[in-house]
Amino acid sequence: MSDLLVRRIGRLTTWVGTPTVDAAVVIRNGRVEWSGPDRELPRGLGDGPQLDAAGAAVLPGFVDCHTHAVWAGDRRSDFVARLEGGDYVPGGIEATVAATRAADDSTLLRAAARRIRTMRANGTTTVEVKSGYGLRPDDEARLLEVIRRLDGTFGGIESTYLGAHVVPDGRNRSDYVAEVIASLPMAAAHGARWCDVFCDDGAFTTDEARQILTAAAGQGLGLRMHADQLAQVGASRLAAELRCASADHLDHVTVGDAHALASAGVVGVLVPVASLYTRSGRWSHAALLQQAGVTLAIATDCNPGSAYGESMPLAIQLACLEMGLSVETALRAATLGGAAALRRADIGHLGPGARGDLIVLASDHEVDVVAHLGAAAVTTTVTGGVVGRT
Amino acid sequence: MSDLLVRRIGRLTTWVGTPTVDAAVVIRNGRVEWSGPDRELPRGLGDGPQLDAAGAAVLPGFVDCHTHAVWAGDRRSDFVARLEGGDYVPGGIEATVAATRAADDSTLLRAAARRIRTMRANGTTTVEVKSGYGLRPDDEARLLEVIRRLDGTFGGIESTYLGAHVVPDGRNRSDYVAEVIASLPMAAAHGARWCDVFCDDGAFTTDEARQILTAAAGQGLGLRMHADQLAQVGASRLAAELRCASADHLDHVTVGDAHALASAGVVGVLVPVASLYTRSGRWSHAALLQQAGVTLAIATDCNPGSAYGESMPLAIQLACLEMGLSVETALRAATLGGAAALRRADIGHLGPGARGDLIVLASDHEVDVVAHLGAAAVTTTVTGGVVGRT
């Protein structure tokens, strides 16, 4: 956490009021102290380290509120097979579980750190990272420790326990659910702030999810759900009932489900890269959620099998071009929306007191984050006032 | 054109035979002289400059056979409006024409060079670049000169005259067609090797396209067409009749059209970024063309209004995930297919005698060009045996 003055910003978006041209931002002790037109910079705030934006646009850093960034192995054979005619089934997760269990901690940490660095280079300043490729208490604990170490190295990491990713091969369902519940104190002890359940056809039922999430709330963990991605199984309704912080995927959500989510204040997390990657052809849920008044977030879902990619700009581009969000709606969803999904008021915007997490774009206009495909959207990522090299 | 020995290639794809592991490539005088297992490297070929691939996969460089990379201005307002409910119409081209006419040569060259560098960084070693934002003989000549200067700087540029992009505002159609035809010797004199016509609803009719292309062939120019993107207007049939080198876009092609293209040896150029960017929702033509036996290429269509992006990896990813091509089919289309569309036997593969145009990937397996979305797929681009810095 440090001091920084960012000057010569061509166009500054803070989400407090309209964009300012020829702007500056003052970060003191890692927090935004002042922003406004460069020429109105108050005396005395212009000391200390400076970053010259050279006319580029600046946005709040992206908040990627749904990733599975800790894994070993690859899923190339799944991927090739799917393009030759197969469908995505959650069973492919087992291959990653086997590779992850077989990998040592330093291998897992090195691979995950590389992914976080790629995220940073693409403008992500806060990342939620889930466990869920251990699926045994000891291995889940190892993954949560890797996530804790990532936070120690990079900062800005939110940790989620996803023991309820799938029922591991050969395990009795109810025994496994009991084990997940019994592991909740372990998860909290290893730094998890959140508990997530993959509630879907082929994963956990709503009854199982209710048991796990109710117990998680009792342990002080916040709640999130993978909901109704592969089929409408009532997961969104459960997310509303339990007032989860977020319900994610939602490809098969109904209008009624969407209204329930909106009423309960559950953030709907769109993961368009997963829709593309699994060739689901489902995009219309985004408009349906938006029309129902659900607060939207956009996340990468970064994982090896169904959304292998670290890039928030790509997720934002697909949210616009495939799901039909406007540019401003998508940029808000990728910043403020992600913050809401993590129940964080201090990130996702650059109002006074916010964390000094911002990105200098490769363009003088933020529309190019969406309009310029396949290009490096971000030149510099600042976290807590510290300038990263990307 | 230079000598280079590329060693420690984890997996080498040349398109001559199956991939080789632990391989090496010898480039002499800018051409591939030998490739094979590293341990079988013949004595005497191991001298001279070396590039260590450090276990990464190597592919032939991408051949981007359809771009409009020379323009000024931007089309952000179009883009934002389209996401708020409008449709893509070719009329938007006029805004770019006005900005391009107003820009001086050095501005045009600098902007285009930046795009070519981005292409290189993404693994493109040969780029076709069209004129078409001048739409007056003098301005078209300026654009063709910019393209010639790009070739002087970068090499590997194929120049295409696209005076027949749209009928400029306020011009009489038949007068304009006559002007395009009268400009063909000028185009050839300024380095154009190809003539292209945008033959579609709202652009040029098949009769107009036939007149222009027949005259172009008489001037020794090769023929290509923007065909049946916005509507089925008979453009593909004309491309087959005239034995064009390529017919591009083809979103509205019929089975009969596809068989005509296949019989005539016309390469079908897929531009999936344009389909995404314009939100056409049309992807099935790729499978239809493939089933008819049309040789496929993949290109970026890089342009400011309907496909703003320089990345062949993104185009390849969309060709797989949206159009359903297999990974190998897509990688062949992006290399060999592009070469076929440009009637070049010396690029798109790494057989003996081919140009020493190759890319070192960020992964040890070429599947990751498609499977790892939104990431930098390429670490080093080599053109004619010269190692570029990306």
pLDDT tens profile B363-377:
999 999 999 999 999
Burial B302-340 (b: 16+ CB within 10 A, else e): bbbbbbbbbbbbbbbbbbbbbbbbbbbbbbbbbbbbbbb
- CA nearest A233: which of A258, A272, A207, A259? A207
The dihedral sign for the CA sequence B103, B105, B107, B113: positive
Cβ-based contacts of A365 with chain B (< 8 Å): 74, 76
Partner residues linked to B130 by β-bridges: B160
Beta-carbon pairs below 8 A across chains A and B = 99
Distance CA B111, CA A366 (A): 19
How far is the alpha carbon of A27 from chain B, nearest alpha carbon, in Å?
30
The pLDDT of residue A282 is 95
- B372 closest CB neighbour out of A276, A308, A368: A308
SS3 B158: strand
Give contacts of A75 with chain B, Cβ < 8 Å. Answer: 371
State how far the Cα of B33 lies from the Cα of A23, in Å rounded to an integer.
56
Contacts of A80 in chain B (CB under 8 A): 326-327, 367
Give the best residue of B71, B79, B366 to mutate against chain A (max A CB count within 10 A): B79
User: Could you say which of A279, A314, A370 has the minimum Cβ distance to residue B373?
Assistant: A314
Interface test with B, best of A62, A75, A79, A282 (most B CBs within 10 A): A79
The pLDDT confidence band at residue B1, using thresholds 50, 70 and 90, is: low
Which residue bears the tokens 């090499």?
B155
Residue B174: pLDDT band with limits 50, 70, 90 = very high
Closest among B105, B110, B158, B164 to B132, alpha carbons compared: B164
| Structural domain boundaries in chain A | 4-61+349-387, 62-341
Contact flag B118-A375 (C-beta cutoff 8 Å): yes
Determine the pLDDT at residue A2: 82
Report the share of chain B in percent with pLDDT over 70: 98
Judged by CB atoms closer than 8 Å, whether chains meet at B308 and A277 is answered as no
**Record: contact A310-B375, CB cut-off 8 A:** yes
pLDDT of residue B90: 54
Query: What does the block give as tokens for B256?
Result: 């009969």
Minimum CA–CA partner of B365 in chain A: A76
The predicted-structure confidence for B290-344, as pLDDT tens digits, reads as follows 999 999 999 999 999 999 999 999 999 999 999 999 999 999 999 999 999 999 9
Ramachandran sector of residue B101 (left: φ over 0; alpha: ψ -120 to 50; beta: rest): alpha
Q: What is the mean pLDDT of chain B?
A: 96
What distance in Å separates the CA atoms of residue B388 and residue A363, rounded to the nearest whole number? 24
Residue B47 has pLDDT above 80, yes or no: no
Nearest residue to A90 (alpha-carbon basis) of A246, A184, A231: A231
Contact B84 A326 (CB under 8 A): yes
Cβ neighbours of residue A244 closer than 8 Å, sequence gap 6 or more: A213, A223, A224, A225, A266
Which CATH architecture best describes the domain A62-341? Alpha-Beta Barrel (3.20)
Q: Hey, which CATH number is domain B4-61+349-387, 2.40.128.20, 3.60.21.10, 2.30.40.10, 2.130.10.10?
A: 2.30.40.10
Task: Write the pLDDT tens digit of every residue in B95-140.
Answer: 999 999 999 999 999 999 999 999 999 999 999 999 999 999 999 9
DSSP secondary structure, A236-278, as one string: HHHHHHTT-SEEEE-TT--HHHHHHHHHHTPEEEE-HHHHHHT
Average the pLDDT over B229-250 and give the result: 97
Which residues have C-beta within 8 Å of that of residue A208, sequence separation ≥ 6?
A: A164, A173, A177, A197, A199
Identify which of B80, B327, B374 has the shortest CB distance to residue A309.
B374
Read off the tokens for A240: 């509303």
Model pLDDT, residue B390: 47
Residue recorded with tokens 């749904």:
A66
Nearest beta carbon to residue A373 from set B308, B321, B372: B308
CA distance A244 to chain B (A): 29
What are the residue ranges of helices labelled H in B103-160? 105-121, 137-154
List, for chain A, all residue ranges whose pLDDT scores fall below the cut of 50. Answer: 390
Q: Radius of gyration (Cα) for chain B, nearest Å?
A: 20
Q: What is the pLDDT confidence band of residue B226, given thresholds at 50, 70 and 90?
A: very high
pLDDT of residue B98: 96
CA-closest candidate to residue A353, choices A3, A28, A17, A1: A28
Residue of B74, B273, B324 lying closest to A373 (CB–CB): B273
Q: Is the pTM of this model over 0.90?
A: yes
Residue A135 half-sphere exposure toward CB, CA atoms < 13 A: 25
**A chain contacts of residue B374, beta-carbon cutoff 8 Å:** 122, 273, 309-311, 313-315
pLDDT for residue B10 is more than 80: yes
Partners of B314 on chain A (C-beta within 8 Å) are: 373-374
The half-sphere exposure of A28 on its side-chain side, counting CA atoms within 13 A, is 10
Q: What is the pLDDT of residue A45?
A: 80
**Residue A230 falls in which region: left (phi positive, over 0), alpha (psi -120 to 50) or beta:** alpha
Query: What pLDDT sits at residue B225?
Result: 98
Which residues, at least 6 apart from A20, have a Cβ–Cβ distance to it below 8 Å?
A9, A11, A12, A14, A35, A36, A37
